[in-house]
Structure 1
Amino acid sequence: MQLNFFPSRQISLYMVRLFLTRTFAVLAMLVAILLTLDMLGESGDILAYPGNGDAQLWYYAGLRAPQIAATFLPFSVLLGTLIMLATLNQNSEIISMKAAGLSAHQILAPLVVAALGVSAISFVFNDRIVARSTGTLSAWEAVDYGPVPADRGVMANTWVRDGNNLINAGIVAGRGTAVQLRKVQIYNRVNNALITIIQAPKGHYDVASKSWVLENARQFDVARGTMRDIGTVRFGHDIRPDQFTLAKVDPDGMTFRELDAAITDLHDAGRPTSELEGSLWHKLSGPLSALLMPILGSVAAFGLARSGQLFVRAVMGMALGFAYFVADNFSLAMGSLGAYPPILAAWAPFFLFLLVGETVLFRTEE
Structure 2
Amino acid sequence: MMLQFFPSKRVALYMGRLFLVRTIAVLALLVVVLQTLDLLGESSDVLAYPGNGDAQLWHYVMLRAPQIIARFLPFSVLLGTLITLATLNQNSEIISMKAAGLSAHQILAPLIVVAFGISVFSFVFNERIVARASASLDAWQAVEYGPAPPSSSVKTNIWVRDGNDLVTAAIVAGRSSSTQLRRVEIFNRVNNSLVHIIQAPRGHYDAKGGGWVLQGARDFDVVRGTTRSLGTVRFGHNIRPDQFTLAKVDANGLAIGALGSAIADLKDAGRPTAALEGSLWHKISGPLSALLMPLLGSVAAFGLARSGRLFIRAVIGMSLGFAYFVADNFALAMGNLGAYPPIMAAWAPFLLFLLVGETVLVRTEE
TM-score above 0.5: yes
Q: What residue identity is the alignment partner of 2:256?
A: F
User: 1: distance between equivalents of 2:138 and 2:149?
Assistant: 12
1:243-267 CA-to-partner distances (Å, cap 9, x unmatched) read 1111110000001100011001111
- Paired residues for 1:181-200 under 5 Å: 181-200=181-200
Shift of 1:224: 2.2
Shift of 1:153: 1.2
Unaligned runs of 5+ in 2: none
Q: What residue identity is the alignment partner of 1:5?
A: F
Shift of 1:227: 2.1
Q: What residue identity is the alignment partner of 1:20?
A: L
Q: Which residue of 1 aligns with 2:333?
A: 333
1:206-240 CA-to-partner distances (Å, cap 9, x unmatched) read 11211101011111222222222111121110111
Q: Which residue of 2 aligns with 1:214?
A: 214
1:176-226 CA-to-partner distances (Å, cap 9, x unmatched) read 101110011111112222221111000001112111010111112222222
What is the DSSP-based 3-state SS (H/G/I as helix, E as strand, rest coil) of the residue aligned with 1:234? strand
User: 2: distance between equivalents of 1:236 and 1:177?
Assistant: 14
User: 2: distance between equivalents of 1:352 and 1:37?
Assistant: 34
User: 2: distance between equivalents of 1:238 and 1:223?
Assistant: 27
Which consecutive segments of 4 or more residues in structure 1 shift more than 6 A?
Answer: none
Q: What residue identity is the alignment partner of 1:289?
A: S
Q: What residue identity is the alignment partner of 1:313?
A: R
CA RMSD of aligned residues (A): 0.8
1:296 and 2:296 correspond: yes
What is the DSSP-based 3-state SS (H/G/I as helix, E as strand, rest coil) of the residue aligned with 1:182? strand
Q: What residue identity is the alignment partner of 1:103?
A: S
Q: Which residue of 1 aligns with 2:310?
A: 310
User: 1: distance between equivalents of 2:153 and 2:300?
Assistant: 45
Q: Which residue of 1 aligns with 2:359?
A: 359
What is the DSSP-based 3-state SS (H/G/I as helix, E as strand, rest coil) of the residue aligned with 2:224? coil
- Paired residues for 1:25-36 under 5 Å: 25-36=25-36
Q: Which residue of 1 aligns with 2:92?
A: 92
1:102-156 CA-to-partner distances (Å, cap 9, x unmatched) read 0101100111111011000000000000000000000000000000111111111
Identity of aligned residues (%): 74
Q: What residue identity is the alignment partner of 1:283?
A: K
Q: Which residue of 1 aligns with 2:224?
A: 224
Q: What residue identity is the alignment partner of 2:328?
A: D
Q: Which residue of 2 aligns with 1:247?
A: 247
What is the DSSP-based 3-state SS (H/G/I as helix, E as strand, rest coil) of the residue aligned with 1:52? coil
User: 2: distance between equivalents of 1:224 and 1:362?
Assistant: 78
What is the DSSP-based 3-state SS (H/G/I as helix, E as strand, rest coil) of the residue aligned with 1:125? helix
User: 1: distance between equivalents of 2:312 and 2:231?
Assistant: 70
User: 1: distance between equivalents of 2:5 and 2:96?
Assistant: 17
What is the DSSP-based 3-state SS (H/G/I as helix, E as strand, rest coil) of the residue aligned with 1:347? helix
Q: What residue identity is the alignment partner of 1:145?
A: Y
What is the DSSP-based 3-state SS (H/G/I as helix, E as strand, rest coil) of the residue aligned with 2:204? strand
Q: What residue identity is the alignment partner of 1:151?
A: S
Shift of 1:61: 0.2
Shift of 1:164: 1.5
Shift of 1:57: 0.2
Q: What residue identity is the alignment partner of 1:38?
A: D
Q: Which residue of 2 aligns with 1:17?
A: 17
1:287-315 CA-to-partner distances (Å, cap 9, x unmatched) read 00000000000000000000001000001
User: 2: distance between equivalents of 1:359 and 1:223?
Assistant: 71
1:74 and 2:91 correspond: no
Q: Which residue of 2 aligns with 1:64?
A: 64
What is the DSSP-based 3-state SS (H/G/I as helix, E as strand, rest coil) of the residue aligned with 2:288? helix
User: 2: distance between equivalents of 1:137 and 1:314?
Assistant: 38
Q: Which moved more, 1:332-341 or 1:158-167?
A: 158-167
Q: Which residue of 1 aligns with 2:201?
A: 201
Q: What residue identity is the alignment partner of 1:91?
A: N
- Paired residues for 1:118-137 under 5 Å: 118-137=118-137
Unaligned runs of 5+ in 1: none
Q: What residue identity is the alignment partner of 1:80?
A: G
Shift of 1:356: 0.6
Q: Which residue of 2 aligns with 1:7?
A: 7
User: 1: distance between equivalents of 2:281 and 2:190?
Assistant: 43
User: 1: distance between equivalents of 2:351 and 2:66?
Assistant: 27
Q: Which residue of 1 aligns with 2:103?
A: 103
User: 1: distance between equivalents of 2:13 and 2:192?
Assistant: 68
What is the DSSP-based 3-state SS (H/G/I as helix, E as strand, rest coil) of the residue aligned with 1:194? strand
Q: What residue identity is the alignment partner of 2:7?
A: P
Q: What residue identity is the alignment partner of 2:233?
A: V
User: 1: distance between equivalents of 2:225 and 2:75?
Assistant: 53
User: 2: distance between equivalents of 1:227 and 1:7?
Assistant: 78
Q: Which residue of 2 aligns with 1:269?
A: 269
Q: Which moved more, 1:127-136 or 1:234-243?
A: 234-243
Paired residues, number: 366
What is the DSSP-based 3-state SS (H/G/I as helix, E as strand, rest coil) of the residue aligned with 1:160? strand
User: 2: distance between equivalents of 1:94 and 1:163?
Assistant: 71
- TM-score by length of structure 2 reads 0.99
